[in-house]
Structure 1
Amino acid sequence: MELGIVLPQPASDAPTPANLVETTIEQARLAVGLGVRSAWFAQRMDFDAIALAGLVGRELPELTVGTSVVPIIGRHPLVVAAQTRTTQAATGGRFQLGLGLGARNFLEPLFGVTEPRTITQLREFLTVLDPLLRTGEVDFAGQTLTARTAWSGHLPGAQPPPVLVAAMGPKALRVTGELADGTLPYLAGPKTLAEHVVPTITEAASAAGRPAARVATLVATVVTDRAEEIRARAVQEMAFYETIPSYRAMLDREGVARAGELAAIGSAEQVAEQLRAYRDAGATELVLSQTTLGNTEEQLRTWQLAEQARDW
């Protein structure tokens, strides 16, 4: 099974922008040396995840890079498509575009969106993005956006990358199965994957005549000898997600009260057993996140699981 990582970033107030890029490349180089072959970058407000993925991927030809995730609120598909084609060309076809609706209570104050029609917006964004990535051309006018190209936007050497959506609710999963290549669920435990995420997106992809959808599942993971201490930290640091309705619904489906309960924490053997439960529930690949819950040594031990996971 393929196992990737969300590459942690330095604190935004620590390095200069140039040092942030250099430090991230060195982190990625270290991860590659430990067997990691795919790295994902979360979008923040102080740097662009698509651009950073391109810089890292160009430096490390062994590494597939992706975003997990770029919120579509506040972005136009014409711009995202141009960024994506550039990064795909720069990495020689090793880019994966991860998109998300974003947490409404976080993004609305930033972008001034007062009446978002999220599912319609997702459908129209993906409807516009697909031809832009394939041909560089689009002519679309919908309820939430308009997109027209005055000239061909095709970039030689930039084949369409996989597009995955951090979809969780049934409507978002159905749109994703119909119009994208897969999903990037977070805080979707094994029960939720098996009973909700996998069957919903699989049915939608099949009905649309698309290949089986990828289910690249993000799991907060730490290999450690301090399991009790790290678990307590995970419960505290991940509590934010419990206040977001979409994540709260996933936790309720799984039957857990705290987001931190879904973190895979313990020895390498214990963590491997927890991660295999996601595989058995239908995850096609795993992405380890929140490794900054541990120290540097624990982070490296966690990354070493990537090599072992190929034999699972």
Structure 2
Amino acid sequence: MTSHPRVGCVFRPQFAPERLAGAARAADAAGLDELWLWEDCFLAGGISAAAIALSHSDRLTVGVGVLPVPMRNVAAAAMEIATLARAFPGRVRIGLGHGVLEWMGWIGARVESPMTLLREYLVCLSALLRGERVTFDGRYVRLEDVALDWPPTEPVELLAGGVGPKTLRLTGELASGTVITGGTTPDGLRTALGHVRDGAGESTRAVVAYLLCTTGPTAQADLRAEAEFWKLDPTDDVGVFGDAARIAGGARRWVDAGADTVVLQPTASVDVEEFVRFIGAEVQPLLQR
């Protein structure tokens, strides 16, 4: 548990890409810690979107949670991530995951053992980003004497997303942190972190938790509708609503359960620039007090 969590907002891929620059500028001006992006098929690209957000802000950290590993050769991913990390040092957090298996099937990238692929990918990507020369002959990942000419100048934070116990243990073992799926209750987060700790042993891992967030005069009804949209039980504790004080107080439940970064996820219909301003200027100071 951390008493001073980092606070972020999601720029959902349902928002048009041309709105991202303005949202990043607004988040930066409001002092928001982090802006998080998704890479969902077939919406905006995670790496290109991160480059836009980073280049239109001065201090904002940008997270991608998560990149589906079947979509990219690991060497290509290393090149892209290293480019961002060198151009914007200390401001990039990259999450990796299995991807939605149905979507991976649509693009001919579904694998028989997603766990094996994620393990091989994390091992090799981490080594490449450390500047190592890598030879690896795995089931899915194969590299022969590969090294980056422009590796990052400082360590890059590589997280991994997971839902099931095996994947959560793997994130604890090989990633620097875990991205917890949206819709996870505080009690569900505690359970998930037990699996992460099984993999991490004595090592400390970052924990990023997404939670639904609505504000305004119809906030409670909007939160219920949003939970139903994501096929969640609206009676479960999956989000926060209300004014800044109520949202901050509610988000503290996930911090107390073990999250050191809480990422507030708006509905697809909000004014995203206004939302990031509100969270950065009004909610974040209360949550970090």
User: Do both proteins adopt the same fold according to a TM-score greater than 0.5, normalized to the shorter chain?
Assistant: yes
Q: Counterpart in 1 of 2:261?
A: 285
Task: Report the 3-state secondary structure (helix = DSSP H, G, I; strand = E; otherwise coil) of the residue aligned with 1:292.
Answer: coil
Contact 2:245-2:286 within 8 A present in 1 as well: no
Alignment equivalent of 2:139, drawn from 131, 139, 143: 143
Q: 1:231 aligns with which of 217, 223, 233?
A: 223
Q: 1:36, CA displacement in angstroms?
A: 0.5
RMSD: 2.3
Residue 41 of structure 1 and its aligned partner are, at CA, apart by 1.2
Matched letter for residue 292 of structure 1: A
1:59 is aligned to 56
SS in 2 for 1:69: strand
Question: Hey, what's the Cα distance between the residues in 1 that align with 2:275 and 2:172?
Answer: 36
Paired residue secondary structure (2:102): helix
What CA distance in whole angstroms lies between the structure 1 residues aligned with 2:264 and 2:112? 31
The correspondence of residues 145-294 of structure 1 with structure 2, limited to 5 A, is 145-150=141-146, 152-155=147-150, 158-186=153-181, 187-194=183-190, 196-206=191-201, 211-239=203-231, 257-258=233-234, 262-294=238-270
Deviation larger for 218-227 or 42-51: 42-51
Contact 1:167–1:185 at 8 Å: present in 2 too? yes
Q: How far 1:156 moved relative to its partner?
A: 5.4
Where is the helix percentage greater, Structure 1 or Structure 2?
A: 1
Do residues 301 (structure 1) and 274 (structure 2) align? Answer: no
Percent sequence identity over aligned pairs: 25
After superposition, give the CA deviation of every residue in 1:197-229 in whole Å (9 maximum; x if it has no partner): 11221232126xxx3011111111122221243
Aligned equivalents of 2:76 and 2:152: distance in 1?
18
Secondary structure of the residue that 1:184 maps to in structure 2?
A: strand
Distance in 2 between residues matched to 1:136 and 1:291, nearest whole Å: 42
Structure 1 residues 126 and 212: alpha-carbon distance in aligned structure 2, compared to 1, 3 A threshold: same
User: Which AA in structure 1 matches 2:247?
Assistant: V
Shift of 1:264: 1.6
Equivalent residue in structure 2 for 1:102, among 89, 99, 102: 99
Q: Helix, strand or coil for the counterpart of 2:207?
A: strand
Q: Which residue of 1 aligns with 2:6?
A: 2
Deviates more, 1:179-188 or 1:197-206: 197-206
Q: Deviations over 1:86-135 (max 9, x none)?
A: 0111112311111111221232223352x520111111111111110101
**Separation in structure 2 between the aligned mates of residue 177 and residue 294 of structure 1, nearest angstrom:** 34
Question: Residues 99, 157 of structure 1: CA spacing in aligned structure 2 closer, same or farther, 3 A cutoff?
Answer: closer
- In structure 2, distance between residues paired with 1:28 and 1:288: 15
CA distance in 2, matches of 1:142, 1:37: 38
Kindly indicate whether residue 21 of structure 2 is the aligned counterpart of residue 25 of structure 1.
yes
Kept in 1: contact 2:130–2:152 (CA 8 A)? no
Q: Could you tell me how far apart the structure 1 residues matched to 2:133 and 2:235 are?
A: 42
1:275 partner letter = A
Q: Find the residue that maps to 2:163 and give its secondary structure.
A: coil
- Any idea what SS the aligned residue of 1:123 has? helix
18, 32, 36: which one pairs with 2:32?
Answer: 36
Greater relative contact order, per chain length (Cα 8 Å cut-off, separation 6+): 2
- The gaps in structure 2 that reach 5 residues or longer are none
Q: Deviations over 1:5-52 (max 9, x none)?
A: 11235645xxxxxxx35x312111111222202111111434321122
> C-alpha distance in 2, partners of 1:41/1:219?
14
Residue 116 of structure 1: aligned partner = 112
What SS does the aligned partner of 2:195 have? helix
SS at 2:44's partner residue? coil
> What is the number of equivalent residue pairs in this alignment?
281
Q: Which amino acid aligns with 1:305?
A: V
For structure 1, which segment, 280-289 or 291-300, has the greater mean C-alpha deviation from structure 2 after superposition?
291-300
How much has 1:298 moved relative to structure 2?
A: 5.5
The TM-score, its normalising length taken from structure 2, stands at 0.87
SS for the counterpart of 1:191 is helix
Greater share of strand: 2
* Cα distance change, pair 262–156 in 1 and its aligned pair in 2 (3 A): closer
